[in-house]
Amino acid sequence: MAQDDKQAENRIARRHRVLKQGKILLANNLSVVSCTIRDMSETGARIVCGDQSAVPTGFRFVTPADNMIRDAEVAWRRGAEIGIRFTSGARRAPERKW
């Protein structure tokens, strides 16, 4: 069985392929790291960021397309990709231009 098949069996929620913009809000809420969401579920996502070293272990994650924000943490890092786990439910993001 392939590694991806094993990971899919262990997931709580099914992931859906997407190609959306995401924003990582750093602790000071003043800095933002842009990323691309490759796939997403109710419990997490696989993202690609230009500067992986700028992504902390815990952060707030915004999906500007639907104006939602969630608390998240890094689950794994592989090459340019990062797997994130949502640690809170989705809620409306505060009014701000992301």
Q: How many domains does the chain have?
A: 1
Q: What is the CATH number of the domain that holds 82?
A: 2.40.10.220
* Residue 53 within any structural domain of the chain: yes
Rounded to the nearest angstrom, the gap between the alpha carbon of residue 57 and the centroid of all alpha carbons in its chain is: 12
State the Cα–Cα distance between residues 59 and 14, nearest whole angstrom: 23
Cβ atoms of 67 and 79 closer than 8 Å:
no
Q: Please give the chain's pLDDT, 98 residues, in tens.
A: 444 444 544 556 666 688 999 999 987 767 899 999 999 999 999 999 988 888 999 999 999 999 999 999 999 999 889 999 999 999 999 877 65
State the Cα–Cα distance between residues 74 and 59, nearest whole angstrom: 9
* Residue 62 within any structural domain of the chain: yes
* Residue 5 within any structural domain of the chain: no
* Residue 33 within any structural domain of the chain: yes
* Residue 6 within any structural domain of the chain: no
* Residue 1 within any structural domain of the chain: no
| Residues sharing a CB contact under 8 Å with residue 24, sequence separation 6 or more, in sequence order | 32, 33, 34, 35, 49, 55, 59, 60, 61, 62
Rounded to the nearest angstrom, the gap between the alpha carbon of residue 43 and the centroid of all alpha carbons in its chain is: 10
**Residue 80 belongs to what domain range?**
11-92
